[in-house]
């Protein structure tokens, strides 16, 4: 059974720093992996989708990588800003089309 883990559960970093969020999954037979952002009390906003054949995707200051064989993905945020404070979730789509979510990393950028 696929399990998705995000460590740490919470992270605080000073503004301006580059940072990396981690996501690991137990079954490497996935179709894709998607990173989301969630602000308190709101829905999820899609950030990046990486297909299983891809190694990385970039959008602005965000870069997501995927290493299927080791069951890992990272979300790199460059030059962090207070507005980046949110919870970040990753989700994998299995070969049976089921989507499994991690529990998220709560990020706080210190001004």
The residue count of the chain comes to 111
CB of 57 to another protein, least distance (A): 11
CB nearer another protein, residue 57 or residue 80 = 57
Which tokens sit at 110?
A: 């210190």
Among the listed residues 106, 32, 28, 35, the one whose alpha carbon sits nearest the alpha carbon of residue 76: 35
What residues are paired with 90 via a beta bridge? 35
Q: Which of residues 13-72 bind another protein (CB under 8 A)?
A: 31-32, 34, 36, 41-46, 49, 51
CA 59 to chain CA centroid, nearest Å = 13
Contact status: 85 vs another protein (CB under 8 A): no
Residues with Cβ within 8 Å of 104's Cβ and at least 6 positions away in sequence, in order, are: 6, 9, 38, 87, 88, 89
Backbone angles phi, psi at 102, to 5 degrees: -80, 175
Contact status: 99 vs another protein (CB under 8 A): yes
CB nearer another protein, residue 15 or residue 31 = 31
Stretch that binds another protein, among 18-26, 59-67, 68-76, 89-97 (CB under 8 A): 89-97
List residues binding another protein (CB under 8 A): 31-32, 34, 36, 41-46, 49, 51, 89, 91, 93, 98-99, 101-104
């Amino acid at each position: 059974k696929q399990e998705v883990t995000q460590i740490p559960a919470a992270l605080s970093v000073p503004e301006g720093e580059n940072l990396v969020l981690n996501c690991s999954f137990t079954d490497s037979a996935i179709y894709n992996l998607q990173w989301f952002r969630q602000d308190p009390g709101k829905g999820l906003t899609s950030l990046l989708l990486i297909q299983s054949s891809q190694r990385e995707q970039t959008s602005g200051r965000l870069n997501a990588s995927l290493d299927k064989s080791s069951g890992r993905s990272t979300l790199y945020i460059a030059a962090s800003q207070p507005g980046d404070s949110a919870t970040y979730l990753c989700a994998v789509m299995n070969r049976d089309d089921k989507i499994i979510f991690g529990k998220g990393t709560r990020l706080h950028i210190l001004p």
